[in-house]
Amino acid sequence: MTPGKKTALALATLAVFLLLAPVLPRYYLYLLSLILTTGLLATSLNLVLGFGGMYQFHHAVFYGVGAYCLALVLTKTGWPTWTGYLAAPLAAAILGLVMGLLTVRLSALYFGMLQISLGSLVWAIVYRWYSFTGGDDGIHGIPVPELIGSSLGAYLFVVLVTAASLFLMYRIVNSPFGRIFLGIRDNPERCRAVGIDVTAHQLAGQVLAAFFAGVAGCLFVTVEGSVFPDMMFWTLSLEILIMCLLGGWFAFFGPLLGAAIIVILRTVVGIYTEYWTLVLGLVLILLIFFMPEGVLGIAQRGRLKGDTDAAGN
């Protein structure tokens, strides 16, 4: 069986499982919804990290802005409910545009450091603005549409939106824009030499990544019915980065796999201890030393080696 057929079979199996999952107990629906939401968030980061070579160290701020925008629309305005679901990703994309205009021309190190600073500034505003954002208490009891208000409705909504978003990102990666983006990642100087506007492409990539992070924030509100400032704290950005590295940041579905591993591991660890950050640190250390390519990266390398050996024989 060819690698393409194996991938298609794996995706078909996953799709069947997700569609049959509604027969599972409510808690498992919630866990699957959380995995898909977090996987979408990690994949949006990998759009600029693995495929663009941009060290975006505070991606969670776009996730939080999308979630807060939806929460504020639903709780503080009389706008139609679904307007919030459209406005939230756009708000995240606008923030991505503003931050990109300030950072994208910088070198990799300063790009990442300034991003952390700007993201932390947004977090501090949300954390302290009690009259508008609820401060460190967050916003709870958010009234989502009745159609997706149940655990089953929320799960199906998450599955559909995640599948559509992943499809769009996959098409972007494999489009002419995506090929140029990969070229910029591998050799930006050569791309500039042939007349490619590297800055414009990187800025567009950051806006797209922020948009899909905002979509993930909407899904979080749908599943949880609440938002809180820690959603845009830098530690969550680190956790998302680890998901990309763990699953394989040069494979499109690597972050989704990494998100599933981290969410399940965090759930299991939470049963026995509250020191999840300690366990996460150990995961990062082991990852750096033993699996720098991630799970799917190792699998792809093994597959290529097998194909080479078979051709040699």
Distance CA 167, CA 239 (A): 24
In a domain? residue 62? yes
What average pLDDT does range 187-201 have in this prediction?
91
Minimal CA–CA distance to 68: which of 123, 11, 1? 123
Number of domains in the chain: 1
Give the model confidence (pLDDT) of 148-173 as tens digits.
Answer: 888 888 998 999 999 999 999 999 99
Model pLDDT, residue 178 = 93
**DSSP per-residue letters across 70-99:** HHHHHHH--S-HHHHHHHHHHHHHHHHHHH
Q: Which domain holds residue 165?
A: 21-233
Give the model confidence (pLDDT) of 246-261 as tens digits.
Answer: 988 888 899 999 999 9
Q: Is 226 helix (H, G, I), strand (E, B) or coil?
A: strand
Distance CA 190, CA 29 (A): 48
Model pLDDT, residue 308 = 46
Question: Which has the higher per-residue pLDDT, 21 or 71?
Answer: 71
In a domain? residue 81? yes
Q: What is the pTM of this model?
A: 0.89
The sign of the CA dihedral 92, 124, 59, 33 is negative
In a domain? residue 80? yes
